């Protein structure tokens, strides 16, 4: 549930966005149209962190930069904005950049899975070495204990649970 | 006393002697049987400062220990008629490596007057007796009595002829065995004769005067005047007719000699002649001859074991020799009636009645009460007799000595414990017509025995009573059977020698050693013995022994005991394994090696009984266990795939995607901005 502070922050952003969009209306219109892939990602990504939206959105934003620069070069008129919307290269830039974002999001899990596997095995080796040293220092009796269940940081665990949901 | 093997020297150069007190050499291989005392072998000795003197040494045993206090007292006697102990000490025999206590004397020039107690010889004339025997004996008794002690070995086979023209005798030694132990019964007053040899006690100078009287009778007779009587018959006769009548009887004795004999053989110690009487007599003053004071005779006899008795003393003596029948007698009131009616002794009769009733009550419950009652009745019948209890028969001053001599005999320590627990010694005191000053130390001794036998734990008990009551008695521990340790300071060196060649597997401690330590080492706390008595396990017991020995090392002032340290290091080696931390174990092993080399028992104790180190180890071990458990949990967590799970990988990859995308976008925007600007 959003707190009062969060509501107040949202309101501040909205109040700032209205005059800005009024001043930069052609730019905003062009951005709104060219950021269409991000909006699709927003609809698809239902998770709380919205990492997919961020991934696609950042690349999408980078892809719209040439069209925005063109708009500003033509004096930020509505005509120039509509020209930008119908410019195939502007669309190509925005969509390709968004595609790179999609690609990043798609290839990252196997890379991370591999990395985590290697890291986990290395960690186990390191922990076993520590155990051997303890046995060497304190004798075999030190191992006559029941393993304590390992808990990661609470926040991390919570986050994982949320991402699973 | 110092000792070291001596080389060839003096006139005994053919053999190797053992040095004693830096002055004498003892030759264990050269036996001198004619100088041996009962229980002690005589061997040749040499005075290195005065090789012209012919010396001999008596080799004592641990079981019948020498009178150490008497040796100290008598070593300063300078009399030509006395065999003065010149030196004493412990020396190691080269042959069997055993350590024995030896006492060095100057050899008497003449021979023993009587070769053995049963031998006959030419009777001495009255003149020879007075000049050659009584005169030097008076001087000897003055010397001995002046040291508040008694000789207790005045007998014909322990006097020597001087070998000179004056024909004076030389009194033999009295220090190689316990006082009075080897004295034939005829030389002992009635009460000492009734006691077992071990229970005769150190005795009083009056015993020596009595023995002198017997000696005169034997010398004037040319041997034992009553050779056909057994020891028991001699005592019974002395009780019945008196010592003078028994030993002198109808023999022809001059009036002068008879006067001395009657005075010296008087059975009442208070009436017996003393040094003043002898002096007066020797100077020609005639004293009226003492008449024998015999027990009151009963109007009718009392039958016991087929014999008729008409005196309470005689009956008491007979009952003491037949304990089971004495118990039977107390089952009815016949004895009480006989004493009341025939002897008219109301006090004695009341005591017997009380004891008989106790006996009957005790008989229903067990034998202990009956035995106590018999002991009480015997004392009531004859208050001059020793304390008697079953096979124990000891004078009050002989209880401690009896405990020491007969300690290894079955049931003797137990019976002496029962004597003091039953308060028979107090009954004996109460039965005396008057309290005498000489009783006081013996009452205290009996109290000491009672106090210790009631505490059975190690360091106390009968063993402690033994060493408390016999100040010079050596430690009777089986571990020290080949040694002679009679001083606290000698114990640790003796144990050190035990481990000289090989470290034994057992701990050097038993009830005798503990009691000996407690008695002969100053400033040892009872706490040390309590710890010894209540060990939690074997190692704890070893540590308690080590603690006791380290206190003794400090107290005695011995700097280094490497063999004992090695012994305990071996016994306590498992203790290093009880530490968990390898580093501690290594430090401990190294420290123990160091302490063993230095022979410092306190340092060794500090290492093996270090509570601080133990706590550190325990705390560290607990921490290490927790750490191990935590690591095991982490390993399990990893092995169960916690990092490679879909949820975890998705979470990480989503975050990584957002970061990578953000960085890439930022770099792209920055690059494009640069292109457009330029």
Distance set, CA B30 to CA A61, B14, B44, B370, B619 (Å)? 124, 11, 5, 54, 68
Any residues with CB less than 8 A from the CB of B495 and at least 6 apart, and which?
B479, B480, B508, B549, B564, B567
CA angle at B498 for the pair B496 and B501, rounded to the nearest 5°: 100
pLDDT of residue B3: 41
Band of residue B5 on the pLDDT scale cut at 50, 70, 90: very low
Q: B261 and B213 in contact (C-beta within 8 Å)?
A: yes
Is A160 close to B624, i.e. CB distance below 8 A?
no
Question: Is B580 at the interface with chain A, CB within 8 A?
Answer: yes
pLDDT of residue B37: 94
**What is the C-alpha to C-alpha distance for residues B453 and A81, in angstroms, rounded to an integer?**
119
Beta bridge partners of B393: B388
What are the residue ranges spanned by the domains of chain A? 4-164
Q: What is the mean pLDDT of residues B411-437?
A: 89
* pLDDT tens per residue across span B92-109: 987 788 999 999 999 998
Is B636 close to A150, i.e. CB distance below 8 A?
yes
Chain A CB contacts of B641 below 8 Å: 120
Count the alpha carbons within 13 Å of B352 in the hemisphere toward its beta carbon. Answer: 27
Q: What is the mean pLDDT of residues B519-546?
A: 91
Nearest to B653 among A59, A66, A108 (CB): A108
Question: Is B664 at the interface with chain A, CB within 8 A?
Answer: yes
Is A62 close to B660, i.e. CB distance below 8 A?
no
Of the residues A42, A45, A97, A150, the best mutation for testing chain B's interface (the one with the most B CB atoms within 10 Å of its CB) is: A150
pLDDT of residue B292: 65
DSSP secondary structure, B105-136, as one string: EEPPSS-BSSSSTT---PPPPHHHIIIIIIHH
Is A160 close to B655, i.e. CB distance below 8 A?
no
Any residues with CB less than 8 A from the CB of B91 and at least 6 apart, and which?
B3, B18, B19, B20, B26, B99, B100, B102
Chain A CB contacts of B644 below 8 Å: 113, 116-117, 120
Give the 3-state secondary structure of residue B5.
strand
Band of residue B8 on the pLDDT scale cut at 50, 70, 90: very low
Distance from CA of A68 to the nearest CA of B (A): 11
pLDDT of residue A155: 46
Nearest to A138 among B621, B637, B673 (CB): B621
Chain A CB contacts of B672 below 8 Å: 62, 65-66, 69
Question: Is B634 at the interface with chain A, CB within 8 A?
Answer: yes
pLDDT of residue B496: 95
Beta bridge partners of B26: B18, B45
Band of residue B4 on the pLDDT scale cut at 50, 70, 90: very low
pLDDT of residue A18: 86
Is B628 close to A164, i.e. CB distance below 8 A?
no
* pLDDT tens per residue across span B626-643: 999 999 999 999 998 888
Question: Is A55 at the interface with chain B, CB within 8 A?
Answer: yes
Of chain B, the percentage scoring pLDDT greater than 70 comes to 95
Any residues with CB less than 8 A from the CB of A4 and at least 6 apart, and which?
none
Q: What is the mean pLDDT of residues B108-127?
A: 91
Q: B208 and B154 in contact (C-beta within 8 Å)?
A: yes
pLDDT of residue A2: 54
Q: Kindly report the average pLDDT of chain B as a whole number.
A: 90
For residue B78, pLDDT beyond 80: yes
For residue B359, pLDDT beyond 70: yes
Which residue of chain A has the CA closest to B668? A62
Q: What is the mean pLDDT of residues B465-490?
A: 94
Is B654 close to A119, i.e. CB distance below 8 A?
no
Band of residue B36 on the pLDDT scale cut at 50, 70, 90: very high
Nearest to A49 among B581, B654, B665 (CB): B654
Question: Is A136 at the interface with chain B, CB within 8 A?
Answer: yes
Question: Is A164 at the interface with chain B, CB within 8 A?
Answer: yes
DSSP secondary structure, B340-401, as one string: HHTS--HHHHHHHHHHHHHHHHHHHH-HHHHHHHHHHHHHHH-TTSPEEETTEEE-GGGHHH
Distance from CA of B575 to the nearest CA of A (A): 15
pLDDT of residue B673: 87
Q: What is the mean pLDDT of residues B118-137?
A: 91
Q: Does A147 or B229 have the greater pLDDT score? A: B229
Is B642 close to A56, i.e. CB distance below 8 A?
no
Question: Is B633 at the interface with chain A, CB within 8 A?
Answer: yes
Chain B CB contacts of A157 below 8 Å: none
Question: Is B623 at the interface with chain A, CB within 8 A?
Answer: no
Q: Kindly report the average pLDDT of chain A as a whole number.
A: 86
Chain A CB contacts of B654 below 8 Å: 47, 49, 51-52, 55, 105, 108, 163
Band of residue A20 on the pLDDT scale cut at 50, 70, 90: confident
* pLDDT tens per residue across span A94-146: 999 999 999 999 999 999 999 999 999 999 999 999 999 999 999 888 988 77
Distance from CA of B639 to the nearest CA of A (A): 8
Q: Does B259 or B5 have the greater pLDDT score? A: B259
For residue B377, pLDDT beyond 80: yes
Any residues with CB less than 8 A from the CB of A132 and at least 6 apart, and which?
none
Question: Is A94 at the interface with chain B, CB within 8 A?
Answer: no
Band of residue B2 on the pLDDT scale cut at 50, 70, 90: very low
Of the residues B577, B583, B665, the best mutation for testing chain A's interface (the one with the most A CB atoms within 10 Å of its CB) is: B665
For residue A162, pLDDT beyond 70: no
Strands (E), B478-527: none
The candidate with the shortest Cα–Cα distance to A145, out of B437, B664, B636, B421, is B636
Distance set, CA B8 to CA B11, B51, B391 (Å)? 9, 13, 51
pLDDT of residue B367: 52
Secondary structure element (H or E) that encloses residue B3, with its range: strand B3-5
Nearest to A108 among B638, B643, B656 (CB): B656
Is A55 close to B633, i.e. CB distance below 8 A?
no
Angle formed by the axes of helices A51-73 and A88-138, to 10°? 140
Q: In the structure encoding, which two tokens stand for residue B114, read together? A: 């009587």
For residue B11, pLDDT beyond 90: no
For residue A158, pLDDT beyond 80: no
């Amino acid at each position: 549930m959003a707190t009062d502070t969060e509501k107040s922050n949202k309101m501040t952003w909205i109040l700032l966005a209205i005059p800005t969009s009024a001043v930069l209306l052609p730019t905003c219109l062009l951005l709104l149209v060219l950021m269409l892939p991000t909006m699709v990602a927003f609809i698809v990504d239902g998770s709380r962190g919205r990492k997919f939206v961020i991934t696609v959105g950042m690349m999408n934003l980078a892809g719209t930069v040439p069209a925005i620069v063109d708009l500003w070069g033509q004096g930020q008129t509505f005509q120039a904005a509509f020209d930008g919307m119908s410019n195939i290269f502007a669309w190509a830039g925005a969509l390709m950049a968004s595609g790179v974002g999609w690609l990043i999001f798609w290839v990252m899990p196997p890379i991370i899975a591999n990395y985590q596997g290697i890291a986990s095995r290395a960690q186990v080796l390191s922990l076993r070495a520590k155990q051997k040293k303890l046995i060497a220092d304190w004798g075999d009796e030190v191992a006559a204990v029941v393993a304590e269940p390992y808990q990661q940081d609470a926040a991390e665990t919570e986050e994982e649970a949320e991402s699973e949901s | 006393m110092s000792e070291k093997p001596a080389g060839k020297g003096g006139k005994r150069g053919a053999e190797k002697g053992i040095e004693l007190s830096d002055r004498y050499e003892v030759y264990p291989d050269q036996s001198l049987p004619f100088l041996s005392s009962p229980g002690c072998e005589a061997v040749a000795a040499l005075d290195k400062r005065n090789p012209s003197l012919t010396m001999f040494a008596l080799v004592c045993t641990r079981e019948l220990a020498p009178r150490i206090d008497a040796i100290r007292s008598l070593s300063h006697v300078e009399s030509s008629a006395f065999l003065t102990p010149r030196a004493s000490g412990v020396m190691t025999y080269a042959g069997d490596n055993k350590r024995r206590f030896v006492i060095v004397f100057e050899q008497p020039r003449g021979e023993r007057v009587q070769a053995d107690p049963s031998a006959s010889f030419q009777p001495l004339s009255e003149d020879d007796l007075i000049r050659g025997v009584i005169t030097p004996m008076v001087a000897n008794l003055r010397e001995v009595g002046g040291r508040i002690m008694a000789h207790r070995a005045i007998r014909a086979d322990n006097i020597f002829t001087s070998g000179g023209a004056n024909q004076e005798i030389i009194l033999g030694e009295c220090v190689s065995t316990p006082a009075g132990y080897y004295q034939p019964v005829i030389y002992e007053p009635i009460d000492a004769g009734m006691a077992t040899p071990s229970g005769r006690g150190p005795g009083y100078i009056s015993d020596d005067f009595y023995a002198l009287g017997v000696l005169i009778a034997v010398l004037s007779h040319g041997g034992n005047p009553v050779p056909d009587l057994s020891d028991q018959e001699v005592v019974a006769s002395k009780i019945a007719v008196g010592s003078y009548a028994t030993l002198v009887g109808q023999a022809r004795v001059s009036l002068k000699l008879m006067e001395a004999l009657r005075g010296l053989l008087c059975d009442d110690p208070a009436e017996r002649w003393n040094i003043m009487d002898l002096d007066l007599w020797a100077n020609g003053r005639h004293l009226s001859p003492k008449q024998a004071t015999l027990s009151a005779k009963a109007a009718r006899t009392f039958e016991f074991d087929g014999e008729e008795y008409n005196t309470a003393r005689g009956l008491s003596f007979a009952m003491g020799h037949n304990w089971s029948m004495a118990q039977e007698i107390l089952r009815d009131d016949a004895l009480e009636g006989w004493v009341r009616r025939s002897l008219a002794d109301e006090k004695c009769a009341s005591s017997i009645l009380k004891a008989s009733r106790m006996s009957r009550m005790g008989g229903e419950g067990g034998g202990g009460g009956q035995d106590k009652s018999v002991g009480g009745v015997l004392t009531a019948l004859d208050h001059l007799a020793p304390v008697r209890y079953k096979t124990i028969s000891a004078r009050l001053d002989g209880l401690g000595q009896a405990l020491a001599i007969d300690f290894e005999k079955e049931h003797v320590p137990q019976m002496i414990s029962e004597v003091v627990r039953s308060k028979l010694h107090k009954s004996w005191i109460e039965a005396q017509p008057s309290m005498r000053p000489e009783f006081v130390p013996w009452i205290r001794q009996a109290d000491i025995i009672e106090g210790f036998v009631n505490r059975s734990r190690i360091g106390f008990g009968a063993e402690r009573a033994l060493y408390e009551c016999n100040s010079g008695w050596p430690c009777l521990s089986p571990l020290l059977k080949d040694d002679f340790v009679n001083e606290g300071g000698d114990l640790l060196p003796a144990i050190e020698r035990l481990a000289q060649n090989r470290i034994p597997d057992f701990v050097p401690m038993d009830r005798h050693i503990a009691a000996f330590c407690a008695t002969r080492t100053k400033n040892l706390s009872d706490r040390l013995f309590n710890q010894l008595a209540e060990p939690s396990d074997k190692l704890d017991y070893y540590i308690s022994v080590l603690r006791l020995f380290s206190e003794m090392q400090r107290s005695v002032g011995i700097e280094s005991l490497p063999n004992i340290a090695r012994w305990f290091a071996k016994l306590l080696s498992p203790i290093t394994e009880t530490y968990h931390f390898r580093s501690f174990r290594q430090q401990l092993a190294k420290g123990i090696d160091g302490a063993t080399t230095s022979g410092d028992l306190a340092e060794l104790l500090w290492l093996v009984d270090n509570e601080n180190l133990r706590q550190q180890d325990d705390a560290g071990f607990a921490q290490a266990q927790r750490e191990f458990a935590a690591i095991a949990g982490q390993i399990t967590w990893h092995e169960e795939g916690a990092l490679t799970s879909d949820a975890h990988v998705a979470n990480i990859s989503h975050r990584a995607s957002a970061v990578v995308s953000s960085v890439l976008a930022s770099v792209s925007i920055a690059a494009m901005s640069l292109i457009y600007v330029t």
